A and B are shown apart, each in its own frame.
Chain A
Amino acid sequence: DQQVKQNSPSLSVQEGRISILNCDYTNSMFDYFLWYKKYPAEGPTFLISISSIKDKNEDGRFTVFLNKSAKHLSLHIVPSQPGDSAVYFCAASATDDKIIFGKGTRLHILP
């Protein structure tokens, strides 16, 4: 049973446009959400996070939105750049410090 779901295995976006990556979760006990970025042959890199008491967190070109009632979060990247091409993992945690990851979405930024 997947508690964190990323239903789009891949996404292609034109350079300069907005990339929107979506994530759904099922466990209402999750209180912290994270996005990680992963390049091939490297470990995941922490990108941005959001606590369940907030509905938006912004860091430069990256914004994460949380809709608790829909159990949905999204990552917006604007403007998209070639270096953003990577696999993005959505992750969630309850108070036990264990992080549950989604299967990832591969983002391709097109020139």
Chain B
Amino acid sequence: NAGVMQNPRHLVRRRGQEARLRCSPMKGHSHVYWYRQLPEEGLKFMVYLQKENIIDESGMPKERFSAEFPKEGPSILRIQQVVRGDSAAYFCASSLGTGDYEQYFGPGTRLTVT
């Protein structure tokens, strides 16, 4: 399966815990994007990364959220001290590179904060 992989598919955390969401892009793709979908809402852009670089994090909350895409390994979206409002579906997408507008999405991670 050469598609975008995300894990875990479902994640339950208590308020105050940390959530780590992982994304492996499609083979050959060097650009990764994270989106959040709240109930009854569209997908909201959070952050755009290339290997070892954050290109655009204008959609990321200033506190508690961070993202990385290391040279080796998957991209990680990290949410510290989760609150109930963080409950959502988090989708990762990847693309070939600059100028390639078509992004391919993973199945998403559904985060539930109890």
Same complex:
yes
A interface residue numbers (CB < 8 A to B) = 4, 6, 32, 34, 36, 41-46, 49, 89, 93, 96-104
Partner among B4, B48, B98 whose Cβ is within 8 Å of the Cβ of A43: B4
The docked-state distance in angstroms from the alpha carbon of A45 to that of B6 is 15
B10 to chain A minimum Cβ distance, whole angstroms, is: 10
A43 to chain B minimum Cβ distance, whole angstroms, is: 3
Contacts of A98 in B (CB 8 A): 33, 45, 48, 56, 58
B interface residue numbers (CB < 8 A to A) = 4, 6, 31, 33, 35, 40-45, 48, 55-56, 58, 91, 93, 95, 98-99, 101-108
The docked-state distance in angstroms from the alpha carbon of A40 to that of B107 is 10
A48 to chain B minimum Cβ distance, whole angstroms, is: 10
The docked-state distance in angstroms from the alpha carbon of A49 to that of B104 is 13
Determine whether the beta carbon of B108 is less than 8 Å from that of A99. Answer: no
Partner among A41, A43, A96, A103 whose Cβ is within 8 Å of the Cβ of B105: A43
4 extra interface residue pairs, beta carbon distance < 8 Å, beyond A6-B42, A101-B42, A101-B45: A43-B6, A44-B43, A89-B42, A99-B45
Contacts of A34 in B (CB 8 A): 101-102
The docked-state distance in angstroms from the alpha carbon of A97 to that of B106 is 18
Contacts of A49 in B (CB 8 A): 101-102
The docked-state distance in angstroms from the alpha carbon of A103 to that of B102 is 18
B40 to chain A minimum Cβ distance, whole angstroms, is: 8
Determine whether the beta carbon of B91 is less than 8 Å from that of A97. Answer: no
Contacts of B56 in A (CB 8 A): 96-98
Determine whether the beta carbon of B91 is less than 8 Å from that of A93. Answer: no
Contacts of B48 in A (CB 8 A): 97-98
